[in-house]
Structure 1
């Protein structure tokens, strides 16, 4: 379930996660207290934005929505690309949608925001001076990215054609899950949850962050004004829980085995 930082930069692999919230200062306070992140200014072309650092290494980005934009607050998974413009065209030709870009983010890179045929939103990142997350798998950093959708078979061909993923289905009759590989390395997953998918939300990409102690992190989330959507439980990969920050952006925390 873990992907190394170098693996995350291969074309198609999740390479960055970013959050747009209504209050940048409150968001920084929440994640700084939860994960120990420090923040430095990032590209400002699209409004106030900061990069989060863990021990001096970039791990994520947080930005502020315009005051007149009352959009749902959610983490966005960015997939690496050698050519954002070509990837955007491939998304369109395979039945997806490109809603933003491609466009430059200062000299850091070129980006776009798209969605798959079922509506799950994701980003594209062509790194230049900033290649993406510099650390993965350590406490406070992203460790996994997973598409939550109705049925894996509906969207798997889209991601395979656009990004060159090598899908591998989990051999279980009652568990609809596909692991996506690049050059033999697992980089992401697709989880089909059927009717359990909230109708008011639709399919979405979920970011997993590593923590040293899931139960302690859940208590801290509550103290900081977040909520627990799924309480701590053990899995084959470690103890995990799904929570939200103070503005409702959901993410999963996991204490790896």
Structure 2
């Protein structure tokens, strides 16, 4: 996918970022697993790098400044105004944990949680517009919220992002320009974990990727299986960060 030159429509998942306590280890693991190399990113929130596939930035990796903060991937949604969207989060019963603040010249961001506690980001792109999920291996392919209150989540994200939410297989989907860009479903697989947005990365072979993740010190949480979106597996990196992989042609 060519580099973006126009800001993505509001409500589109535009970026994913890992918060970890072992940045060198994360670079080694994901670099080998997904074919990434790395370049420096904005230092507003501490040590941070951008992962690239070729010349294209596809994800961010950073070190948490908060002791005990969980290792996790965060999905960011494009917004026209991070300040306005953050205010809507509060008005709709969510919380804003970080920002809105300026990430140097890259853009303006906020990190928030919805009414059930699922963490997500808001990104008002300036020099860095993000990346639209697409089919290229190594990049984010799909975002899906697992929550005990799928109906409440649909109401929340419809109001905060200003996009329609329509019924979809297994739950509902956020729509941008009439097409699904992210899913919401009741979290039958939560098993004591908090509600969360799950990041899916595109890969050419799900089974081979799952085997390689284990060889690199990660784990397979849910074995490769077929879904309505294609073959997928849920994995964890060596520090326990959960993510999924989705096989693309």
TM-score (norm 2): 0.94
Match of 1:58 in 2: 57
Is 1:242 the counterpart of 2:234? The answer is yes
Unaligned 5+ segments in structure 1 are: none
Which residue of the partner structure matches residue 15 of structure 1?
A: 14
Offset, 1:65 = 2.1
Q: 2:184 aligns with which of 190, 193, 218?
A: 190
Structure 2: unaligned runs, 5 residues or longer:
none
In structure 2, the residue corresponding to 1:107 is in which secondary structure? coil
Shift of 1:151: 2.8
Secondary structure at 1:216's aligned position in 2? helix
Deviations 1:4-59 (A, max 9, x none): x7999211111000001111111100010001101011111211100011011010
Q: Distance in 2 between matches of 1:102 and 1:134?
A: 22
Looking at structure 1, the residues matched to 131 and 177 of structure 2 have their Cα atoms a distance apart, in angstroms, of: 20
Cα separation, 2, equivalents of 1:192 and 1:151 = 6
Relative to 1, partners in 2 of residues 1:241 and 1:205: Cα closer, same or farther, differing over 3 Å? same
Q: Indicate if the aligned counterparts of 1:8 and 1:15 stay in contact, CA closer than 8 A.
A: no
Q: Report if aligned partners of 2:7, 2:125 keep a CA contact under 8 Å in 1.
A: no
Secondary structure of residue in 2 paired with 1:155 = helix
- Residues 203 and 6 of structure 1, relative CA distance in 2, 3 Å threshold: farther
> Which residue in the other structure is 1:101 paired with?
99
Using the alignment, how far apart are the partners of 1:224 and 1:8 within structure 2? 36
| Contact persistence 2:14–2:133 (CA under 8 A) | no
Distance 2:49 2:166 in 1: 36
Say whether 1:131 aligns with 2:93.
no
1:180–1:189 Cα contact (<8 Å) kept: yes
- Map residues 137-152 of structure 1 onto 2, 5 A cutoff: 137-152=135-150
Does 2:209 align with 1:217? yes
Instruction: Report deviation, 1:152.
Output: 1.2
The residue number in structure 2 matching 1:169 is 167
Shift of 1:134: 6.2
- Alignment size in residue pairs: 247
CA contact (8 A) 2:116 2:149 kept: no
Which structure 2 residues correspond to residues 73-88 of structure 1 after superposition, within 5 A?
A: 73-88=71-86
Per the normalisation by structure 1, the TM-score is 0.91
